[in-house]
Structure 1
Amino acid sequence: THGDFERVVLDLGAGEEPAGAVPRWTLDSPEDDGLLRVNLTSANATAVSDGGFGDGLLESFHVVRAPEGGMFVDVLARKAFRYRVLELTEPARLVMDFRPAGARPKEPPPAEGGETVLVEPRAGTRISDPLTVSGYSRNFEAANTIILTNDRGKVLVRETVMANDWSSTWGYFEATLNLPSLPNKGTLSVGTASARDGSFEGVEIPVRGG
Structure 2
Amino acid sequence: MKTEAKKGKRSRPAVGFAAAILLVCSLSMTAFAADESTSIGKGESEQTASTSLSYNVTPDYTVVIPRAVKLSSKDITMQITATKINAEPNYQVQVKVSGGLTEGKVKLARTNDTGYEIYAPLKLGNSSIDSNTAVAAFKEHDTTALPGTGTLTFGAPADADGSADIKAGDYTGTVTFQVAYTLVASTGE
Same structural fold, with TM-score higher than 0.5 when normalized by the shorter chain: no
TM-score using structure 2 length: 0.29
Q: Which structure's residues are more often helix, by fraction?
A: 2
Higher RCO, 1 or 2 (CA under 8 Å, sep at least 6)? 2
Larger Rg: 2
Say which structure is richer in strand.
Answer: 1
TM-score normalised by structure 1 residue count: 0.27
